[in-house]
Chain A
Amino acid sequence: MGKKMNSEPLGKFYNGGRTRTRREWRGVRDTWYDYTRWLGNWGSMVKFLSNPQCLKGFFRYRWMQNYLATPDFIDRHTEGLRGPQLRVAHKEFDFIVTHVCDTMKSLFEADQRIGGDPEKSKKMVILDENMMTQIMNGFPNLRGNCMQIPAIYIPSTQQQDSITFYIDKAQEFGIPGDVCPMPAGELGVALEDEYPICGKCALQCNTTCDGSLMGNGIEERRYTMPTWQVAVPIRYTDPETRSYAAQEIKNAIRFVEEQTGEKWDWGAYFKRMENFNKETEYFRSWLEISRTKYPQVIGNNVALYRDAYYQVGGGRDPAFTQNEKEICEIMLKAYGEKNPVVSQARHRAILWGVQAQYYSAFPLWLQNCWGIVPLIDMLSLTSTELYSTTDKEQAYYDMADLYAKMNMRNRSEGGYEVGVEDLWRLCQEFDADTVIMYEHIGCKSMTGYHGIFEQEALKRGLHLIWVTHGLMDPRKASRQNMRTEVNRYMRAVLHEEPLDPSLEEFDDSNAW
């Protein structure tokens, strides 16, 4: 018990119940910091609920109850952290809390189901889940909102069994049990009529996977607004697909203009892309430092936050840029001081495949239990290009490029080059000796490469550790099942002992 990492057995906090037995003691300074941030997050949530529309939304929608686990969610994602890493984590996760509160507030204020303002609804464009939002950068008077993110995506990380109800509803409807639980859960929400009713029009896309676009087709029947589909090329690495992709973006913009009466504003678009580029530059510096012996922003401190500002933020919110600037300052100072991120760094790992939403804190467990440093994950390795802030025609191509390189899709579609070969290149670049290979049971996108991954890793002398999971459905593979796969490899193949033996096996099956 103290300010050093691994100074107390973290597994002992879990006793099979919903919450842990007590808060972690991290030394006076870090504990006090962590506690004040915990209070701050409660403050953000109380402020959110003080809005009458938000309160109505809270009682109207079943999925809202999952947000009560938010403080626990943040505790899970800061477990074992100290000093700069703890501060970076809070900067990110606390920021996401306020951002999500703002997103949901805008949804509920426009929600016709709970008596929201019709004028606000008319100024809203509903976007598909996992859809890049840069298309809204040229519409400063409109707000793009994705209903599936607060209903499914975020809750699935807050509480492990948060969306099983909706998955079951989709399966009752007839959706096979072997599909990805994410679009199935989203469809379940639609079938239960649990999406807010708002928006002037909707944009759907094929950016995630085959299952997602098929779920959209059925969901659209529940929408009460005109809907347009943006079909991004599947083999997007083929340069011959680019003009088609750019035209898809033009057509989508025209659709939004026709439906809302708003005109595309190049000035607004370029200004926001300047922000986006700035954020990309910060991200590049994170990666640069992660390639060195003293990585600073790693694992959970990259994964979810990168999703948020790359895809959802899209350059529209300058607060993201400011936040990243501050994170960079912490990171550079820590790097200068050669600050260690784990008590004993035994392996440098790249996390490939799709992470388990119900165990998004898994990278932190790798650090704390086995000293595996999760340098970067596949979902975060999206585009690091800087996009044009002056050329209008090029901008269409840029947006199309971003859509093609949406989180996950940029690896799961596009073929070997980006799905398989890039992994080996990245292992070299980051000097990684280990690959944590997530195998999401319902995902059909990368599973077909299974054998090739094994063969190639063997050829290259890399430790490839398969971690099977059910993405948003812990009934398919529990958190402990995921941990056991790593434990077995570490003991049977590498003959190593854990840094924190209490974390090797513990009961969190009922935890949030």
Chain B
Amino acid sequence: MKDLKYLYTLENLLQDCDNEMVRAAKEEGQLAVGTVCYQLPEVLLNLPGCFSTRLRAPRTSSMEMGTYYMTSLTCEYCRALLERALEGSFQFLDCLFEPASCSQMADCAEDMEALAACTKEKFFCQHVDTPMKDDDNALSHLVHMCRVRVLDKLHEVYGVDTGDEALRKAVALHNEVCRLITEMGEYRKELRPRITGYEFAVFTLASYCLPKDKLLPILRETAEELRTREPDERHKWRVRVVLAGSEIDDPDFVKLIEDAGAYVAADRFCFGSLPGRQEIVLNDTEDVLTQICRQNIRECQCPRYMNTAKINERKSYLDRLAHEYKADGIVFQQMNFCNFWGYERAGATHILGELGGWPVLSVDRPYVVGTSGQLRTRVQAFVERIELKKLQGGNV
């Protein structure tokens, strides 16, 4: 296939959190709002005059400082973020919202705060309690916390307009990004897909990390380009998989899987599009913030949600995605030391494998995996397993 025009540009931009596009937005006077998790509705951090950026630590090698403060027994993503913060890479942030996502991330954000890793005069780190269920009480709690700990704080410190009109504008911007990402993602359902899982991961990741207004023209042009893009006659993939599990902010992981022969048809992981890149449909009768929060709670597939309905829904959601995206199997990965995804991976592997009949590759991994030979071997073996069983007509 012909290369996508902006792929290389985005690949380069994503090599750094404080990149050219971020700096351009800052020069225009926009506030850089850092976040670390999906638990807070992203749209609230993209009010007029602000742009959200979900923190990552690209090109991570040493994590010595992060390991000193957090020990080698914690999640490498958190340690890498702390390392980056201490190195000064997050100095561009005007504020950081930490939504009580997990203990380790909370510690990481508190360490950043205690060690004054971001030194802007008005910088603040706000810890926001977010619910762990999806019932009405949880919704009203999320609405309240978003109001008092996110919107009011942004208004109080930076004078950000947090009124309904401003929220609607942010939703409109968010929706356009989501529409384009969804359109691009739909092509993955084709049996001769016109976009690779890797390419899609780059564009989706960009939508979480780069200023949306600046990214939008690129997304529009890429969507247009894809409408007429001719897929290869013969592609290199032998099977199609859903990639699920914990945080993946490195598209090279997707590339590794695809290079091993498995097309990543659907992305159900943190920083993926399923869920995360769905439009927010607003009505005129209900409070805007409540509508935004409801969608966030209802769509979230994080294992942090502990009520029975959500626990079951996570498995059926994956099952549905696997059918919808014509997958042959599921790659369920989890970052080492992640309690949430560690248990979820183990449980889902059994449930999806035994009840749903899906072949599941269950792996735990470090934060940086782009060129891991060990993982490549495991994916290759998984591809062969699916192929062999298909040939033999057995139960995979």
Contact = CB atoms under 8 A, between A and B. Distances in A.
B100 interface: yes
B111 A218 contact: no
Contacts, number: 159
Given A174-B362, A209-B103, A244-B131, A214 B340 contact: yes
A439 B135 CA distance: 36
A210 B364 contact: no
A462 interface: no
A402 interface: no
Contacts of B69: 448, 450-452
Interface stretch (A226-234, A264-272, A308-316): A226-234
Nearest to B346: A174
Contact of B114 (A204, A236, A238, A416): A416
Contact of A211 (B70, B138, B339): B339
B106 interface: yes
Contacts of A441: 73
A451 B68 contact: yes
A251 interface: yes
Nearest to B131: A231
A214 B334 CA distance: 14
A502 B187 CA distance: 73
B104 interface: yes
A491 interface: no
A173 B346 contact: yes
Nearest to B128: A235
B15 interface: no
Interface residues of A, number: 50
B279 interface: no
B74 A447 contact: yes
B345 interface: yes
Contacts of B192: none
A244 B144 contact: yes
A413 B106 CA distance: 9
B345 A174 contact: yes
Contact of A176 (B127, B135, B303, B334): B334
Contacts of B70: 447-448, 450-451
Nearest to A450: B71
A217 interface: yes
Interface in B285-315: 303-304, 306-308, 311
A444 B339 contact: yes
Interface of A: 173-176, 178-180, 204, 206, 209-211, 213-218, 220, 227, 229, 231, 233-236, 238, 240-241, 243-244, 247-248, 251, 412-413, 415-416, 439, 441-442, 444-452
21 contacts: A173-B346, A178-B342, A204-B306, A216-B306, A229-B307, A229-B308, A235-B128, A241-B141, A248-B137, A415-B106, A444-B75, A444-B337, A446-B107, A447-B73, A448-B107, A448-B110, A449-B110, A449-B111, A452-B111, A452-B114, A452-B115
Given A176-B364, A452-B69, 6 more contacts: A178-B342, A179-B342, A210-B103, A211-B339, A227-B308, A235-B127
